[in-house]
Amino acid sequence: MTKRLSLIIFLLMIVTTSFAQNWGGGVDDEDIHFGFSFQYISAEYKILKSANWRNAFYETEDGNSVAYNPNMGRQITQPMRAISSPPSVGFGLGFVVNKRISENFDLRATPSLIFSDRIIRYEYEPAPQVTLPVNNSVTPPAFQTTIDKKVQATMFEIPFGIKIKSNRLNNFRVYWLGGAKYSMDIASKKKTFDEGETQINKLLKNKRSYLSYETGIGFDLYFEHFKMSPELKLSYSMQDILQHDNTAFANPLDKTKLRHFTFSLFFE
pLDDT of the residue at 64: 75
- What's the mean pLDDT when you consider all of the chain? 85
Q: 159: domain CATH number? A: 2.40.160.20
pLDDT of the residue at 27: 86
Q: Where on the phi/psi map is residue 199: left (φ > 0), alpha (ψ -120 to 50), or beta? A: alpha
Q: Is residue 93 part of a domain?
A: yes
pLDDT in tens, 139-185: 556 778 899 999 988 999 999 999 999 998 888 999 999 999 999 99
pLDDT of the residue at 59: 84
Q: Is residue 7 part of a domain?
A: no
Banded pLDDT at 266 (limits 50, 70, 90): very high
Estimate to the nearest angstrom the gap between the alpha carbon of 141 and the chain centroid: 38
Q: Is residue 164 part of a domain?
A: yes
The candidate with the shortest Cα–Cα distance to 261, out of 119, 108, 91, 106, is: 91
pLDDT of the residue at 124: 93
The candidate with the shortest Cα–Cα distance to 179, out of 209, 207, 157, is: 157
**How many separate domains does the chain show?**
1
Number of Cβ atoms within 10 Å of the Cβ of 13: 10
Residue 238 has pLDDT above 80, yes or no: yes
Q: Is residue 68 part of a domain?
A: yes
Residue 16 has pLDDT above 60, yes or no: no
Q: Is residue 184 part of a domain?
A: yes
pLDDT of the residue at 19: 44
Q: Is residue 214 part of a domain?
A: yes
The candidate with the shortest Cα–Cα distance to 244, out of 191, 198, 202, is: 202
What whole-number distance in Å separates Cα of residue 121 and Cα of residue 52?
A: 17
pLDDT in tens, 35-81: 999 999 999 999 999 999 999 888 887 767 787 777 777 888 889 99
pLDDT of the residue at 128: 73
- b/e 136-175 (16+ beta carbons within 10 angstroms → b): eeeeeeebeeebebebebbbebebebebebeebeeeebeb
SS3 state at 87:
coil
CA angle (128, 134, 139) in 5-degree steps: 50
AA identity, residue 125: E
pLDDT of the residue at 225: 86
Section 233-250 average pLDDT: 93
Q: Is residue 240 part of a domain?
A: yes
Banded pLDDT at 219 (limits 50, 70, 90): very high
Which structural domain range is residue 95 located in?
A: 27-127+139-267
pLDDT in tens, 79-120: 999 999 999 999 999 999 999 999 999 999 999 999 999 999
Q: Is residue 260 part of a domain?
A: yes
The phi and psi torsions of 26 (rounded to 5 degrees) equal 70, 20
Q: Report percent pLDDT > 70 for the chain.
A: 84
pLDDT of the residue at 131: 57
